[in-house]
Amino acid sequence: TQLLEQSPQFLSIQEGENLTVYCNSSSVFSSLQWYRQEPGEGPVLLVTVVTGGEVKKLKRLTFQFGDARKDSSLHITAAQPGDTGLYLCAGANAGGTSYGKLTFGQGTILTVHP
Amino acid sequence: GAGVSQSPRYKVTKRGQDVALRCDPISGHVSLYWYRQALGQGPEFLTYFNYEAQQDKSGLPNDRFSAERPEGSISTLTIQRTEQRDSAMYRCASSLEAEQTGVRNEQFFGPGTRLTVL
């Protein structure tokens, strides 16, 4: 069974601070996706990382995929209240034929105070 | 439609009743997925389809849960003899196709069906 451990579970910070969310596993994933979810809505994809060591930037968000494709991080610079939400990492199955199966982490609830 | 739609948005039922949850994926999307999500937690995989074929149902909790997608478009998740522990948000997602890597398996989620079993 593939598991993704996400940390921290809760994060409460002031506007302008930086933060990092971690996603770790003992399993290798073929790709890893990060989602953001707002209350009452479904998760919305932020980015997909595919190659070990890959770094992707999306404005103030920086995503990194570990060299061994077992872990990932999301770094937010100068957080804003609009960044508040549930952040989820999800790994796509490596090997076998069930490519569509995503394993989600437990999520990080981020609150950015003005 | 522009996105994934699900119906009903809310379903309240009594223990022991059967329920059917519907998902209408994005037009042209080959793959369709069902998840269950607890409040403040990540979605838990249930099953997924490519076209009408059920590719993986390893996440279905027990044999009271079943899903179908007979024409490769709309899907129905059925829960028979519902129990209180089945209460949750059930989410559907679709993607261009499920593949090992890359962007074609990026999943777009629907708004979910909130199921409450009394």
pLDDT tens for each residue of B37-77: 988 889 999 999 999 999 889 999 999 999 999 999 999 99
Residues of chain A contacting B41 with CB distance shorter than 8 Å:
106-107
**pLDDT value at residue B98:** 65
Angstrom distance (rounded) from CA B3 to CA B25: 7
Residue B101 pLDDT greater than 60, yes or no: no
Residue B100 pLDDT greater than 80, yes or no: no
Residues of chain B contacting A45 with CB distance shorter than 8 Å:
106-108
- Contact in structure between B91 and B36 (CB atoms under 8 Å): yes
CB atoms within 10 A of CB B27: 9
Q: Which of B9, B45, B95, B114 should be substituted to probe chain A, the one whose Cβ sees the most A Cβ atoms within 10 Å?
A: B45
CB atoms within 10 A of CB B93: 26
Q: Mind giving me the DSSP string for A16-33? A: T--EEEEEE-SS--SEEE
- pLDDT < 50 stretches in chain A: none
**pLDDT value at residue B97:** 77
- Contact in structure between A93 and A101 (CB atoms under 8 Å): yes
Angstrom distance (rounded) from CA B73 to CA A41: 22
Q: Mind giving me the DSSP string for A69-94? A: SSEEEEEESS--GGG-EEEEEEEEPP
**pLDDT value at residue B104:** 62
Task: Give B95 to chain A, closest Cα distance, Å.
Answer: 9
Residues of chain A contacting B103 with CB distance shorter than 8 Å:
48
Residue B8 or residue B96, greater confidence? B8
Residue B105 pLDDT greater than 80, yes or no: no
Residues of chain B contacting A50 with CB distance shorter than 8 Å:
101-102
The CA dihedral of A94, A97, A98, A103, to the nearest 10 degrees, is: -10
Task: Give B44 to chain A, closest Cα distance, Å.
Answer: 7
Q: What b/e readout covers A3-12, taking b as 16+ CB neighbours within 10 angstroms?
A: ebebeeeebe
**Residue B20 burial (CB < 10 Å; 0-12/13-18/19+)?**
middle
Residues of chain B contacting A101 with CB distance shorter than 8 Å:
45, 48, 56, 58-59
The three-state secondary structure class of B104 is: helix
Residue B98 or residue B113, greater confidence? B113
CB contact under 8 A, B42 and A100: no
Using CA of residue B90, residue A73, residue B99, residue A37, what is the dihedral sign?
positive
Q: Does B114 touch chain A (CB under 8 A)?
A: no
Task: Give A94 to chain B, closest Cα distance, Å.
Answer: 7
pLDDT tens for each residue of B13-43: 999 999 999 999 999 999 999 999 988 889 9
